[in-house]
Chains A and B, each alone.
Chain A
Amino acid sequence: MTTTTQPAVPVQSPFKRWLSGVANASDLGMLPVIAALIVIWIVFEVLNANFLTPRNLSNLAAQIVVTGTLALAEIYIILLGMIDLSIGWNSVLAASIFSLSTVFFHLPVVAGLVLGIVFATVVGFLQGMLVSRVGVPSFVVTLGGAMVAEGITLGILTPHGGSVPLSDSLTTAIGTLNLAPLWSWVLSIVLFGAYAAVTLNQIRQRTAGGHEGGYAAVMRLIGVGVLLFGAVFMLNAYRGVPFLLLIFLIALFASAFVTKSTQFGRHLYAVGGNAEAARRAGISVRGIQLAAFIIAGFLVGLAGYLDAARLGVASASVGNGDIMLNAVAAAVIGGTSLFGGRGSVYGALFGALVIESVSNGMNLLGAASSVRFIVEGGILLAAITVDTVLRLKRLRTGRA
């Protein structure tokens, strides 16, 4: 039992305390992945001076959207300590249902969109039922689910030559247009202002209650500001913030709120961290698992639509393998532990940035896809190794 409330080293600046906290933490948050991202960007910029241009970074911003949204869906499942292998095909299925219902059955665009997303959500619900009620391992359920979704997708799209071009105005706008630079600035300033107000208010309330450690929050605030305004500046130098990116960011911030600030989010982490403890605390473990699968299904449906909007076509050929693996890789690279209960939804953004930066950079260099696979696989293995090593470190110190 501690008999001290003071820090062990009496006089230490908040900065040094923060720094040593960062150095000793077993959960570093987004710092490692941001560091990795900076290294990757520098390497590609050195290899090809076209990499860090506003134009290419704007492309990149649109490229991360689908991987990022799928990674976001996957994070809900990985936080439970489970895995969802169906997100790739389920998203393509949602896109094909959208295309079929609007192009061939002439449903209103919004109705088709709702239909596609609802369908993906129902797939998530059914898989969640099998996992939470029956107790089938998620790995098996979603592997089967992926094959069923693939089959339905092929069944729907093959009669139409395997792909359906999309030309309705909403989809085209979402897929190709940008928020004008002025509005991008206005929006980002408003958002950052709100975020800063909430953060500062929290710090004030906590310190009033005798809690110290607002320093980390201030550092985070500064970091977020630099990243946000840097990104807006870069994107505005080309055409502004892509609508696609905006939609992804909305899903991301909503998920951050759900996972960090609501009772459901707290219980999600609890179930992933120690399901037995959660059960004894009266939490409905099955209910949380089912809800996570439903939310993931919804996001997967959204990702499917965004992918179709970006490419201007709903196609069966995009579902194959690597969009799912890229999303899992992005989630893990973003610091979500495959052992459950640890990580942050912001990992979806940074993990997707890493994966898509590598892919984008390799394309600029004209690298063969064989090389791309090897490099991306290597990064994934490195991320999983770090995750496992950190977990072992936690287990050792946790028993101290």
Chain B
Amino acid sequence: MSGSAATPLLTVRGLKKRFGAVTALRNVGFSVERGEVTALLGDNGAGKSTTIKAIAGVAPIDEGEILLEGRPVTIRHPSEANALGIQTVYQDLALCDNLGICANLYLGRELIAKPTPLGPRVLRDVEMEAEARRVLKTLRINLPALDTPVASLSGGQRQAVAIARAVLWNSKLVIMDEPTAALGVAQTAEVLRLVRDLAGQGYGVILITHNMQNVFQVADNIAVLRLGETVLEARKANLTPDQVVGAITGTLAIGAAA
């Protein structure tokens, strides 16, 4: 699909990935626009996680193209993805339960002061808390006191911490792998609201989920993978849930990407 005048934030084309004898990705391609949510759908084993691991640099692709703002990029390591402004909220969240909310938000890039050129690297906790509070406010996330250990938060709150963490790193593209799995109704609604807010603030979002209702609530663009291939990519407005389900299960033959 095309039509937008500006280059998309992210375009992937012809991604291929083999694990020994298993071909996980044969031909994956889709785009993500700034300020939009692209839902990545597909049955179990379709290759969704493999695709985002490729974009996040966790498991680099064998063949194919990744274009960021029109420029081809190679991403072979998570730190390279981070440097390009790509942040991933993993399914297992990767938070340190023993640390507080603020410590988790800034993990690995704490604000520090060096009283002498040789160190010590002293934490600027008060400033980190103030900045974190500001970011949480722009995302309309309410959390308990910022030194509360993450272990004592609810699933939705932990998800919110993980998402806010991704946003704090000057990112352009936020990838989320099943952020609403295992959440209750109210918490799911809150996380979806957060996803919409991110897009509203200009971030590009890739959202993986199995929940069709969620997809139609928040996505702008929908890409469906089947057996490692993109079988459908279209604007949500041009699709019905039945068509999407058909594409996922393979019962509905859709010619090319609409």
Q: What residues of chain A have their CB less than 8 Å away from a CB belonging to chain B?
A: 1-5, 26-27, 202, 205-206, 209-213, 257-258, 261-267, 269-270, 272-274, 276-278, 280-283, 341-342, 394, 397-400
Closest to A257 in B: B120
Is A281 a contact partner of B108 (Cβ separation < 8 A)? yes
Counting CB contacts under 8 A, is B190 at the interface? yes
Closest CB-CB distance, A60 to chain B, in whole Å? 32
Stretch at the interface among B40-48, B149-157, B213-221: B149-157
Closest to A343 in B: B98
Counting CB contacts under 8 A, is B25 at the interface? no
Q: Which residues of chain A are within 8 angstroms of B94 by Cβ–Cβ distance?
A: 274, 276-277, 280-281
Is A273 a contact partner of B97 (Cβ separation < 8 A)? yes
Is B107 a contact partner of A397 (Cβ separation < 8 A)? no
Is A262 a contact partner of B123 (Cβ separation < 8 A)? yes
Is B191 a contact partner of A269 (Cβ separation < 8 A)? no
Is A210 a contact partner of B133 (Cβ separation < 8 A)? yes
Is B122 a contact partner of A262 (Cβ separation < 8 A)? yes
Is B110 a contact partner of A2 (Cβ separation < 8 A)? no
List CB contacts (< 8 Å) of B59-91 with chain A.
78-79, 82, 90
Closest CB-CB distance, A319 to chain B, in whole Å? 33
Bits for B144-177, please: 1 = Cβ < 8 Å to A, else 0.
1111010110111100100000000000000000
Q: Which residues of chain A are within 8 angstroms of B160 by Cβ–Cβ distance?
A: 1
Question: How far apart are the CA atoms of A276 and B122 in the complex, in Å?
Answer: 24
Q: Which residues of chain A are within 8 angstroms of B191 by Cβ–Cβ distance?
A: 1
Counting CB contacts under 8 A, is B129 at the interface? yes
* A266-B110 contact in complex given A1-B190, A5-B142, C-beta closer than 8 Å: yes
Q: 9 tightest A-B contacts by CB?
A: A281-B108, A1-B190, A273-B98, A341-B98, A277-B94, A398-B151, A273-B96, A282-B108, A263-B121
Is A264 a contact partner of B146 (Cβ separation < 8 A)? no
Question: How far apart are the CA atoms of A217 and B166 in the complex, in Å?
Answer: 31
Counting CB contacts under 8 A, is B103 at the interface? yes
Question: How far apart are the CA atoms of A280 and B123 in the complex, in Å?
Answer: 20
Question: How far apart are the CA atoms of A210 and B152 in the complex, in Å?
Answer: 21
How many residues on B have C-beta within 8 angstroms of the other chain's C-beta atoms? Answer: 44
* A282-B146 contact in complex given A1-B154, A206-B129, A277-B107, C-beta closer than 8 Å: no
Interface centre among B110, B121, B187 (most CB of A within 10 A): B121
List CB contacts (< 8 Å) of B108-136 with chain A.
108-110, 112, 119-123, 126, 129-130, 133
Is B152 a contact partner of A269 (Cβ separation < 8 A)? no
Closest to A1 in B: B190
Is B107 a contact partner of A398 (Cβ separation < 8 A)? no
Is A278 a contact partner of B107 (Cβ separation < 8 A)? yes
Closest CB-CB distance, B195 to chain A, in whole Å? 13
Q: Which residues of chain A are within 8 angstroms of B12 by Cβ–Cβ distance?
A: none
Question: How far apart are the CA atoms of A258 and B146 in the complex, in Å?
Answer: 21
Is B149 a contact partner of A274 (Cβ separation < 8 A)? no
Choose among B82, B96, B143, B154 the residue that contacts A277 (Cβ–Cβ < 8 A). Answer: B96
* A263-B112 contact in complex given A269-B99, A277-B94, C-beta closer than 8 Å: yes
Closest CB-CB distance, B69 to chain A, in whole Å? 23
Is A283 a contact partner of B108 (Cβ separation < 8 A)? yes
Q: Which residues of chain B are within 8 angstroms of A2 by Cβ–Cβ distance?
A: 142-144, 154, 157
Question: How far apart are the CA atoms of A382 and B186 in the complex, in Å?
Answer: 42
Question: How far apart are the CA atoms of A342 and B149 in the complex, in Å?
Answer: 11
Counting CB contacts under 8 A, is B231 at the interface? no
Is B154 a contact partner of A269 (Cβ separation < 8 A)? no
Q: Which residues of chain B are within 8 angstroms of A278 by Cβ–Cβ distance?
A: 96, 107-108
Q: Which residues of chain B are within 8 angstroms of A397 by Cβ–Cβ distance?
A: 151-152
Question: How far apart are the CA atoms of A266 and B152 in the complex, in Å?
Answer: 19
Closest CB-CB distance, A74 to chain B, in whole Å? 18
Question: How far apart are the CA atoms of A277 and B104 in the complex, in Å?
Answer: 10
Q: Which residues of chain B are within 8 angstroms of A394 by Cβ–Cβ distance?
A: 97, 151
Closest CB-CB distance, A335 to chain B, in whole Å? 13
Question: How far apart are the CA atoms of A364 and B254 in the complex, in Å?
Answer: 88
Is A209 a contact partner of B126 (Cβ separation < 8 A)? yes
Closest to B194 in A: A1
Counting CB contacts under 8 A, is B95 at the interface? yes
Is A211 a contact partner of B146 (Cβ separation < 8 A)? yes
Closest CB-CB distance, B70 to chain A, in whole Å? 27
Question: How far apart are the CA atoms of A3 and B154 in the complex, in Å?
Answer: 12
Question: How far apart are the CA atoms of A3 and B156 in the complex, in Å?
Answer: 12
Closest to B103 in A: A266
Choose among B121, B145, B155 the residue that contacts A264 (Cβ–Cβ < 8 A). Answer: B121
Question: How far apart are the CA atoms of A1 and B122 in the complex, in Å?
Answer: 32
Is B96 a contact partner of A269 (Cβ separation < 8 A)? yes
Is B109 a contact partner of A282 (Cβ separation < 8 A)? yes
Question: How far apart are the CA atoms of A272 and B98 in the complex, in Å?
Answer: 9
26 contacts between A and B (CB under 8 A): A1-B156, A1-B186, A2-B142, A2-B143, A5-B142, A206-B129, A212-B145, A258-B120, A264-B121, A266-B110, A267-B108, A269-B98, A270-B103, A273-B98, A274-B94, A274-B95, A274-B98, A277-B107, A281-B94, A282-B108, A283-B107, A342-B98, A397-B152, A398-B152, A399-B155, A400-B154
Is B96 a contact partner of A270 (Cβ separation < 8 A)? yes
Q: Which residues of chain A are within 8 angstroms of B107 by Cβ–Cβ distance?
A: 266, 270, 277-278, 281, 283
Question: How far apart are the CA atoms of A103 and B33 in the complex, in Å?
Answer: 76
Q: Which residues of chain B are within 8 angstroms of A213 by Cβ–Cβ distance?
A: 145, 147
Question: How far apart are the CA atoms of A337 and B155 in the complex, in Å?
Answer: 24
Question: How far apart are the CA atoms of A331 and B156 in the complex, in Å?
Answer: 35
Q: Which residues of chain A are within 8 angstroms of B99 by Cβ–Cβ distance?
A: 266, 269-270, 273, 341
Question: How far apart are the CA atoms of A283 and B78 in the complex, in Å?
Answer: 12
Closest CB-CB distance, A272 to chain B, in whole Å? 7
Question: How far apart are the CA atoms of A229 and B126 in the complex, in Å?
Answer: 30
Is A3 a contact partner of B142 (Cβ separation < 8 A)? yes
Interface centre among B108, B122, B154 (most CB of A within 10 A): B108
Is B95 a contact partner of A263 (Cβ separation < 8 A)? no
Q: Which residues of chain B are within 8 angstroms of A27 by Cβ–Cβ distance?
A: 149
Q: Which residues of chain A are within 8 angstroms of B187 by Cβ–Cβ distance?
A: 1
Is B143 a contact partner of A263 (Cβ separation < 8 A)? no
Closest CB-CB distance, B34 to chain A, in whole Å? 25
